[in-house]
Amino acid sequence: MERPQAILFDVDGLLITTGGAGASSWRWAFNELYGIPADIGKFTEAGMTDPVVGRLTFTSVIGHEPSPEELSKVISHYLMRLPEEVAASPGYKVLAGVDELLPRLCKAGFLLGITTGAVEAAAHIKLARANLNRFFSFGGYGSDSADRGELTRKAIERAGEILGAALDPQRVLVLGDTPKDIAAAHAAGAIGVGVASGHSSKDELRSAGADYVLGSLLEELPGVAEATSSSS
């Protein structure tokens, strides 16, 4: 393929794993507000946006759909707790290939962004422990839309604003570790690259229609090899 105009990365399961810090923060938020240490894993699945996670968990444990004010309060409490949980998590780690790949892409002049179901503040908190925020100048987040396709489109729009011209989505790579990431990429008209570094296997990502499938970020991304080798 042609050189990508932008490369978009999911966070959880692709760049880092928090070792359960997110789930612990949701549990704390529900316990603090309602006396119920809710386990989001019982009600949600990987790749959902934070607003959807909060809404589904609230509905399941409280018994009714949250009002906008109730959902806002849960998310706010989640964010208050998240920095502490991320900092203390013994299972937090940067995933294979990330520390080598991101500087190499930046040196080669690729525009890097984030596409994640996390609200923007949560994404930055999760990346901050590993000093990874510095590589990403824009993104699309769960705080932009509860719909993964829409937030991916928003990220591509923001990339165009940075570069001063609208991007061709077919020259944008969207990397993720779940079928939802692939569906979001295709909904935005972009190239979906499945990476089996987190929640899904290579076969599951292929079945989801990924345009490319990698085992980890140690493998070369499509369209970038020549550019990164010439810049090193």
pLDDT per residue as tens digits for the range 122-163: 999 999 999 999 999 999 999 999 899 999 999 999 999 999
pLDDT surpasses 90 at 118: yes
Mean of per-residue pLDDT scores for the chain:
94
Where residue 214 falls among pLDDT bands split at 50, 70, 90? very high
Encoded amino acid at 150, one letter:
E
Q: How many CB atoms lie within 10 A of CB 150?
A: 16
Mean pLDDT of 31-47: 85
Where residue 230 falls among pLDDT bands split at 50, 70, 90? low
Task: Name which of 79, 88, 91 is nearest 25 in CA terms.
Answer: 79
Domains parsed from the chain with CATH numbers = 6-18+92-231 (3.40.50.1000), 21-88 (1.10.150)
Residues 155, 198, 78: CA angle, nearest 5 degrees? 65
The answer to whether 115 and 174 are in contact (CB under 8 A) is: yes
Q: Given this model, what pLDDT does residue 45 score?
A: 73
Could you tell me which residues come within 8 angstroms of residue 51 by beta carbon, excluding any fewer than 6 positions away?
Answer: 71, 75, 119, 142, 143, 146
The answer to whether 179 and 200 are in contact (CB under 8 A) is: yes
For 40, the token pair is 């989001």
Q: Given this model, what pLDDT does residue 215 score?
A: 96
Q: Given this model, what pLDDT does residue 140 score?
A: 97
pLDDT surpasses 70 at 171: yes
Q: pTM here?
A: 0.92
Q: How many CB atoms lie within 10 A of CB 3?
A: 12
Where residue 228 falls among pLDDT bands split at 50, 70, 90? low
